[in-house]
């Protein structure tokens, strides 16, 4: 398949596998003219499904931009100097992937550290919204007796108390988790270390929501009595802090549930370990743990539309101007740069990994 005109190519643009456009070869190949800057938007699974391989010249320092979702070690090993990867990276919790990207010499821009003028994280926000809302959905399901849970209904019924839900973190995902839990009439408490944010949440939800300032003692007491604990903490680019210790988990009631939204950044529960959509939960100390990485992958249609709405302007900027000029034009996009020419360029990521950090000047 030769790309002649399109600048942005997605899986939907590919011919059917039995099409003559593939020239009948057993192994499909995308041929990209040297003078074009082409944006490939494929998942790693799509590359396997269509049996696509990138031609040899695509691995040389050419001005193409590649975006794979999600980023994985095998994909990183295909990258070369002069190529650009634009996706979620979460390198602070993935040393192997970080080292693979450093070895490749490629330029890697992370969605999760791109910032808006107001300091928000515009490319992390849509997936945080999805994960926050999903956390209550999967938590309620895990609490059902047939799934090993305590056997309580989040909202209770007249004459029966609702379940106690504790949300650690009042950011985007925590707020959306709280909104869903309040909507289901649970007894909801949000914990955060920002008094300003707690005031905002109190103003939004009123008496439907309790707010607690974050201390180790407060978390210990709340976790002990909770039916569902949702970990929604975030430090941009850095590993998530371990707010719930193993000792705290041991005090929880059997059949209680922990949902760790922060697992992509290493998790905020000491007992967390990554799980998959195929096997989403495990039980430790009698407590059900839901620690699925890439939670929004369970609802791909919603997630894809939400993410594309946010990323498309950045993809266009990178395609139109090249990554150097795009970063020079937009300081917020420049903050997304995590790796360039074998060096870590994001201080929080480098600190989390214990590796050297180098400031990159876009202009």
CB 47 within 8 A of CB 14: no
The whole-number pLDDT of residue 19 equals: 45
The whole-number pLDDT of residue 71 equals: 55
Active site residue 96: no
pLDDT (average), residues 71-98: 81
Considering 50, 58, 90, 176, which one is annotated as catalytic? 90
The answer to whether residue 114 scores a pLDDT higher than 90 is yes
Considering 264, 289, 340, 346, which one is annotated as catalytic? 264
Is the overall model pTM greater than 0.85, yes or no?
no
Question: HEC states along 265-330?
Answer: HCCCECCCCCECCCCCEEEECCEEEECECCHHHHCHHHHHHHHHHHHHHHHHHHHHHHHHHHHHHC
| Identity of the highest mean pLDDT range in 13-17, 115-119, 134-138, 359-363 | 134-138
Q: What mean pLDDT is reported for the chain? A: 83
- Tokens representing 268 are 């905020």
pLDDT-derived band at 63, boundaries 50, 70, 90? very low
pLDDT (average), residues 256-282: 95
Could you give the domains of the chain? 8-114+302-353 (3.40.50.720), 125-298 (3.40.50.720)
**What tens digit of pLDDT does each residue of 292-348 get?**
998 999 999 999 899 989 998 998 898 888 899 999 999 999 999 999 999 999 998
Secondary structure of residue 223 in the 3-state scheme: helix
CA distance 65 to 187: 48
CA distance 103 to 305: 33
pLDDT (average), residues 214-219: 96
**What tens digit of pLDDT does each residue of 145-164 get?**
999 999 999 999 999 999 99
Active site residue 58: no
């Amino acid at each position: 398949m030769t790309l002649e005109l399109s600048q942005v190519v997605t899986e939907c643009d590919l011919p059917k596998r039995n099409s003559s456009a593939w020239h009948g070869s057993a192994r499909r190949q995308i041929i990209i003219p040297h003078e074009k800057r082409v944006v490939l938007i494929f998942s790693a699974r799509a590359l396997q499904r269509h049996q696509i391989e990138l031609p040899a010249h695509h691995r040389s320092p050419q001005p193409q931009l590649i975006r794979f979702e999600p980023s994985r070690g095998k994909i990183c090993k295909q990258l070369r100097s002069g190529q650009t990867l634009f996706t979620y990276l979460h390198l602070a919790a993935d040393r192997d992937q970080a080292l693979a990207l450093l070895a490749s010499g490629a330029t890697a821009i992370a969605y999760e550290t791109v910032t808006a003028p107001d300091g928000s994280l515009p490319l992390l926000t849509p997936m945080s919204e999805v994960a926050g809302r999903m956390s209550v959905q999967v938590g309620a399901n895990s609490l059902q007796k047939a799934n090993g849970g305590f056997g309580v209904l989040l909202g209770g019924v007249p004459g029966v108390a609702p379940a106690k839900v504790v949300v650690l973190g009042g950011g985007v995902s925590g707020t959306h988790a709280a909104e869903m839990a309040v909507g289901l009439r649970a007894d909801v408490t949000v914990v955060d270390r920002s008094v300003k944010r707690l005031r905002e949440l109190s103003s939004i939800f009123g008496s439907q929501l309790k707010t607690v300032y974050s201390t180790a003692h407060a978390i210990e007491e709340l976790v002990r009595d909770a039916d569902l604990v949702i970990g929604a903490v975030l430090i941009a680019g850095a590993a998530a802090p371990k707010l719930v210790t193993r000792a705290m988990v041991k005090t929880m009631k059997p059949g209680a549930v922990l949902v760790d939204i922060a697992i992509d950044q290493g998790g905020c529960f000491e007992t967390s370990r990554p799980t998959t959509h195929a096997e989403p939960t495990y039980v430790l100390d009698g407590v059900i743990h839901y620690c699925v990485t890439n939670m929004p992958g369970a609802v791909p249609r919603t997630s894809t539309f939400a993410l594309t709405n946010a990323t498309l302007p950045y993809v266009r900027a990178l395609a139109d101007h090249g990554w150097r000029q795009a970063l020079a034009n937009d300081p917020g996009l420049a903050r997304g740069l995590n790796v360039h020419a074998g060096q870590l360029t994001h201080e929080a990521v480098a600190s989390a990994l214990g590796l050297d950090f180098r400031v990159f000047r876009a202009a």
